[in-house]
Amino acid sequence: MLAEEILFFVSALIAEIIGTMAGFGSSTIFLPLALLFVDFKTAIILVAIFHLFGNLSRIIFFREGFDKRIILQFGVPSVLLSLLGAFLIGVLPQPLLKLILGIFLIVTSVSFLAKPGLKFPAHTATFVAGGSITGFITALVGTGGALRATLLQGFNIEKVKYVATTATIALATDVTRIPVYISQGFLTEQYLLHLPILFGIALAGSFTGRNIVRRIDQKKFRMMVLVVIILVSINFIIDSLLS
């Protein structure tokens, strides 16, 4: 039992380091690993809380990159449009949406890799449009980190500002979904002691990720994030075809 718990926490640490470096993906990596050790409902709530801890940690360690303009113009529309998307769940087929999203993300990311100078114009209209699309699609598909990362990379935002922005927007979604999970009884008493350990791991993982990010120059950082997006997008396509 102890060995399993150690592997569970090591998985969380690895997921947080990678998630901090890419600006997204910690829950995408950690959830399937957590399912090897706990049941589905427990995995969902523990990963969600860990995701919240991770985003808080990133905001702390990357706080100098906090940009109120981007948060308001990109983040607020994202949260609002996610509510609209939530009402349409079940109306549009998820497998088809994932397939379209996966193809879009791959084409966009490959374009940015092939033409490093290519970027979206960074003004109010494009930030609002990007945030709205992200929130709407996230609600429909159930995951939005890769799309959010792609659009923000499209603006070629400086790496520290990018991580701070993605963490702040993701935190807003964590705050809204976790109380729902708890109210439905997902978090049982036997796993309460996991929470302070997960918080410490989130801090350690974010701190480690921050130090790695600071050592990577902007061009290499953008390339790394785009490669991660492509890998996640391939997984979207595979999932849609198998559904």
- What's the pLDDT tens digit per position in 98-113? 888 889 889 989 998 9
Tokens of 234: 């391939």
Angstrom distance (rounded) from CA 70 to CA 63 = 14
Instruction: State the pLDDT at residue 192.
Output: 94
Q: Are 187 and 141 in contact (CB under 8 A)?
A: no
Residue 46 binned pLDDT confidence (cut-offs 50, 70, 90): very high
- Give the integer Cα–Cα distance in Å for 232 and 102: 8
The residue segments making up the domain with residue 228 are 2-242
Q: Beta partners for 92? A: 89
Pairwise CA distance, residues 28 & 187, whole Å: 20
Question: Please, what's the b/e burial string for 66-99 (b: 16 or more CB within 10 A of its CB; e: otherwise)?
Answer: ebeebbebbbbbbbebbeebeeeeeeeeeeebbb
Most confident by average pLDDT, 84-88, 200-204, 215-219? 200-204
Cβ atoms of 55 and 176 within 8 Å: the answer is no
Mean pLDDT value across residues 178-205:
92
Q: What domain count does the chain have?
A: 1
DSSP 64: G
Q: Answer yes or no: is pLDDT of 177 > 80.
A: no
pLDDT at site 119? 84
Q: What pLDDT score does 79 carry?
A: 80
Other CB atoms within a 10 A radius of the CB of residue 147 amount to 27
d(CA 144, CA 139): 8
- At residue 143, the pLDDT reads 66
Predicted local confidence at residue 174, as pLDDT: 82
pLDDT at residue number 159: 92
pLDDT average, residue stretch 225-243: 87
pLDDT on residue 211: 95
The radius of gyration computed from the CA coordinates of the chain, to the nearest angstrom, equals: 17
Q: How high is the pLDDT of residue 195? A: 96
Average pLDDT over residues 76-85: 81
List of residues 6+ apart from 10 with CB closer than 8 A: none
So what's the pLDDT on residue 90?
Answer: 60
| Whole-number pLDDT of residue 59 | 94
Beta strands in the chain (DSSP E): none
pLDDT at 221 over 90: yes
Of 84-98, 207-221, 222-236, least confident by mean pLDDT is 84-98
